[in-house]
Amino acid sequence: MSAQVAADCSPLRLTRRGRLLFLGLPLMLLAALLVTMLGIFNSPATASTENPSSATSNVSYTVRPGDTVWTVAEVIADGRDTRDVVQAMMDLNDLETSVIQVGQQLFLPTGD
């Protein structure tokens, strides 16, 4: 029995595959983490890809009785195609349909 106990207390021996798994895997994970962190902290911050001179300003408008998207667009079109202004209004306000409600706040595109 004492020989059995002595055999059970022998030091742990790792094979080459065991050493690779025990030491190599954590090292590879650490290297991947370092590369990721370097990429995050060294990447340039960009606020917008749009040219600031081409940005348009917006005006808020409260819908009144009798207003439709088309009639509002005709008033603010200022020489532009009314269909383009209607589409810009729908995009700017995330409208899926041209139905608007009295009292609703709309952002109106201005400029080119």
The mean pLDDT value for 84-104 works out to: 90
Residue-wise pLDDT for 64-92, tens only, equals 999 999 999 999 888 889 999 999 899 99
Residue-wise pLDDT for 17-34, tens only, equals 888 888 888 999 999 999
Question: Structure pTM?
Answer: 0.48
Sign, CA torsion 45/50/56/61: negative
Q: Is the distance from CB of 72 to CB of 102 less than 8 angstroms?
A: no
Residue-wise pLDDT for 46-59, tens only, equals 665 555 544 556 78
Residue ranges per structural domain of the chain: 2-42, 56-109
- The one-letter code for the residue type at 78 is D
pLDDT of residue 55: 53
Distance CA 91, CA 108 (A): 10
Query: What count of residues does the chain have?
Result: 112
Residue 95 buriedness (CB in 10 A; 0-12 / 13-18 / 19+): middle
pLDDT of residue 44: 74
Pick the CATH number of 56-109 from 3.10.350.10, 2.20.28.10, 3.40.50.10490, 3.40.1280.10: 3.10.350.10
